Amino acid sequence: MKLCSKIKLIIKKTRVARLSTVDKTSQPYSIPVVFVYYKNSFFIPLDEKTKSTKTSNLRRVKNIEHNPQVCLLIDEYTENWNDLFYILIKGKAELIHEKYNLKHVHKLLVSKYPQYMKIGIGDSCIRINPTKVTIWNNESL
């Protein structure tokens, strides 16, 4: 699924999104994530920030292993409601490790988030292949 250049620019500028997964008991789980868009997929790093568990035991990872259907919400709130928007991405997620060449994805992540120059970016990512994208903005006000 290809996105138009205007949407790609919004995605490139937006700093955080919310990733929603579902566990084995059909309970939803949503967390804020950083991300980049590359070759028609979204990439979310499983980085080396302080975590209370190993990457392989993260709830989002376990949920994706059980059910790869995810939702990624990219939005921006502003007091000027004319500028409100969201991009809702539904898709299939997969965990990507060293076998997939993450070199360019890592460069994009470091470019968008310079904090990764000090924090380890990790060897794994979540890749979301979009199946449906819903775009809404409030330009009609």
Q: How far is CA 128 from CA 30, 48, 65, 92, in A?
A: 15, 20, 13, 6
Give me the tens of pLDDT residue by residue for the chain, a chain 141 residues long: 678 888 888 899 999 999 999 999 999 999 999 999 999 999 999 987 666 677 888 999 999 999 999 999 999 888 988 888 899 999 999 999 866 778 899 999 999 999 988 887 888 899 999 999 999 887 653
Predicted pLDDT of residue 51: 63
Residue 86 sits at φ, ψ, to 5 deg, of -150, 155
Predicted pLDDT of residue 6: 85
Q: Check: CB of residue 6 under 8 Å from CB of residue 40.
A: no
Predicted pLDDT of residue 34: 95
Predicted pLDDT of residue 141: 36
28, β-bridge pairs = 22
Tally of CB atoms within 10 A around 15: 11
How much is the pTM? 0.90
Counting Cβ atoms within 10 Å, is residue 42 exposed (0-12), middle (13-18) or buried (19+)? Answer: buried
**Maximum Cα interatomic distance, the chain, rounded to a whole number of Å:** 48
Residue 108 sits at φ, ψ, to 5 deg, of -65, -40
At 32, list the tokens: 């804020």
- Which domains occur in the chain, in start order? 5-137 (2.30.110.10)
Residue 58, SS3 per DSSP: coil
